[in-house]
Structure 1
Amino acid sequence: MADATLIDQGRETDVGDYFALLKPRVMSLVVFTALVGLLVAPVSVNPIIGFASILFVAIGAGASGALNMWWDADIDVIMKRTRGRPVPAGKVTANNAMIFGLWMSMISVLMLGLTANYLAAGLLAFTIFFYAVVYTMWLKRSTPQNIVIGGAAGAFPPMIGWAIATGGISVESVLMFALIFMWTPPHFWALALFMNQDYDAAGVPMLTVTHGKRTTRNHVLVYTILLVPVAMAVAFTSIGGPLYFTTALVLNLMFLKGAYDIWKRDDDAAEADNYLVERKVFRISLYYLFLHFALLLVEATAKTFGLTWAAWPQWI
């Protein structure tokens, strides 16, 4: 939990510091996947309502980030990757980060309910609660399965986007959720393999810390194998199609090959080459998720030109 002694009261706070509290890089992924969920839904949305709704989703995502930084300031100051964040760096007080996050949470949920519908608002509220309370305050410091269970928080945005458009939940939105949910463990464990010292120093029970790197490598491979059928199943729903199928097949083979390369390595070799394979797979994982959701947008556009499964034999 945040420690007030971390804060240097002599430092000035500016708008950029509060913007950094929102975790803009994470927020951009949330906004993108929520926007895809909205745009691929079978119901069109007024552009103004759609823009406002996605804006409130972004605010809610940022609120989660602020609450996470408030609670985690004591470990963020220890980890090289996070010590430059606004609270441990002394740019924003822990109390101000908490107040900022709470107000942003309330505003985003209330306004999304008024702008779109209360199902979307309820999903957003649950996402904020899950990330800030279930993951940050409980799972992160108590179990090596923190990433597995906590990954649900990052998987809800496309369901929120779908709910904004349709007011409901469907197989398509659940599969988009499952795609992110299953992608999260191998993505973060690849990172943890070459950032293990940070987590160890901070006392975060990441799988690499509690069970070792060999077990983590096994888990990366297993979860990637489980991810592939989920990703490919999307191709056979109303939001998928031949373009998604063919490109996703290549992406999944690449990711699976990367997971296998991680699995077959030993720790002595990893130490010797500075975890080059793990770093490469981590980068692949970033492109992997972005391209899958980008493909869904491409499919939605292609369908307007009649490029569907039924028409595939005519245009391949």
Structure 2
Amino acid sequence: MTDLNYQDSTTQEAGMGDYFALLKPRVMSLVVFTALVGILVAPGASLHPFEAFVSILCIAVGGGASGALNMWWDADIDRIMKRTANRPIPSGRVQPQEALAIGLALSGFSVILLGLASNWLAAGILAFTIFFYAVVYSMWLKRSTPQNIVIGGAAGAFPPMIGWAVATGSISIESVLMFSLIFMWTPPHFWSLAIFVKSDYGNAGVPMLTETHGRRVTRNHILGYMICLIPVALGLAFTSIGGPIYLAVSMGLNLWFLQACIVVWRRNEDAAEADKFAAERRAFKVSLAYLFGHFTALLAEAALTPWGLGGW
């Protein structure tokens, strides 16, 4: 648990960049992109551009609020891990109380404004997403189970479902499959990272799968989840937002990511240590292109369908 009275001896004056960093802008960019796709690919939805802009802004702010609450809670372990030690709170540039206040204020603002600007279903899903990431994942799962990233991955999978709800006021098989695509993608994506930053989690006492069961088991899980991901990704091709373009792109991306995961699965630890986990780093990078490529292909289908070039 984060100590609200924690004061760092190296406290520095915070700048605007530090407060922005609290919102985890890299994660926020993925949230915004997938939510925007959810809005744009919804068939038959007529949304005023200003309403769409405000809705995306609310979703982005809600995602940033989750990041601030996560950094507030995880300040103690962030100070221990090399890759997070320079974050605004553990570095002393922002105090935990400030991060908590910002996270709570932005959470309330984003949910209420989204409900007023769009609809309360979308606002409700956004509120649940913030709660899931800040409470279920950060406060409970992350420090209690090696399956933390599997279950907690749901938080990052909700944005396209929120976007779809903004555009249609409903939940459908399409939005559920977009959610499922990100949900099933998260374990092989994150565990590839966890393999080559293994000691970070161990030093912080986080029960990541690499720590509790070892890298060999983690490699098995990466391949297993990748195999389960394939039918989910391909299944989107046969819905109202899919089509031959998406199917072709998805097949290529799945073969690429599967090959990268197989290489990771076949590795022994001596070889991985010798080349500084090059295959694992490659799989992590491929995973980013994989998700971006799938959602870009959905956008291409939506853009070309009115011209008779997309869709079935």
User: When the two structures are superposed, what TM-score results if normalisation uses the length of structure 2?
Assistant: 0.98
Q: Which residue in 1 is equivalent to 2:191?
A: 189
Q: Counterparts of 1:279 and 1:40 in 2: how far apart (Å)?
A: 32
User: For residue 26 of structure 1, what is the aligned residue in structure 2?
Assistant: 27
Per-residue deviation, 1:7: 2.9
- 5+ residue gaps, structure 2, are none
Which of residues 238, 241, 245 is equivalent to 1:239?
241
1:72 equivalent to 2:74? Answer yes
Q: Please tell me whether the aligned partners of residues 144 and 210 of structure 1 are also in contact (alpha carbons under 8 angstroms).
A: yes
> Which residue type is aligned with residue 89 of structure 2?
V
Equivalent in 170, 174, 177 of residue 168 of structure 1 = 170
Q: How do residues 211-250 of structure 1 correspond to structure 2 at under 5 angstroms?
A: 211-250=213-252
Q: Is the 8 A contact 1:6 1:88 kept in 2?
A: no
* Residue 288 in structure 1 maps to residue 290 in structure 2: yes
- Cα distance per residue 1:11-62 (max 9 Å; x no partner): 1122211111000000000000000000001212100000000000000000
Determine the C-alpha separation between the residues in 1 that align with 2:8 and 2:293.
40
- Work out the percentage of aligned pairs sharing the same amino acid: 65
Report the Cα offset of residue 243 of structure 1: 0.5
2:87 paired residue among 71, 85, 88: 85
| TM superposition shift of 1:272 | 1.2
* Unpaired segments ≥5 residues, structure 1: 311-316
Structure 1 residue 247: Cα displacement:
1.1
CA distance in 1, matches of 2:153, 2:96: 25
User: What is the aligned-residue RMSD (CA, Å)?
Assistant: 1.0
Give the AA of the match of 1:232: L
The CA deviation at 1:87 is 0.4
CA distance in 2, matches of 1:236, 1:44: 23
Residue 314 of structure 1 is matched in structure 2 by: none
Contact 1:112 1:118 (C-alpha < 8 Å) held by counterparts = yes
Q: 1:313 aligns to what?
A: none
The 8 Å contact of residues 7 and 94 in structure 1, kept in 2 or not, is answered as: no
Which stretch shows the higher mean deviation, 6-15 or 73-82? Answer: 6-15
Equivalent residues of 1:7, 1:92 under 8 A apart:
no
Partner Cα distance (1:150, 1:121) in 2: 20
For residue 64 of structure 2, give the secondary structure of its aligned residue in structure 1. Answer: helix
Distance 1:66 1:309, change over 3 A: closer
* 1:308 shift after superposition: 3.8
2:167 aligned with 1:159: no
For residues 115 and 32 of structure 1, the distance between their equivalents in structure 2, rounded to whole angstroms, comes to 19
Distance of 1:26 and 1:188 partners within structure 2: 13
The aligned runs of 1:250-261 (5 Å cut-off) are 250-261=252-263
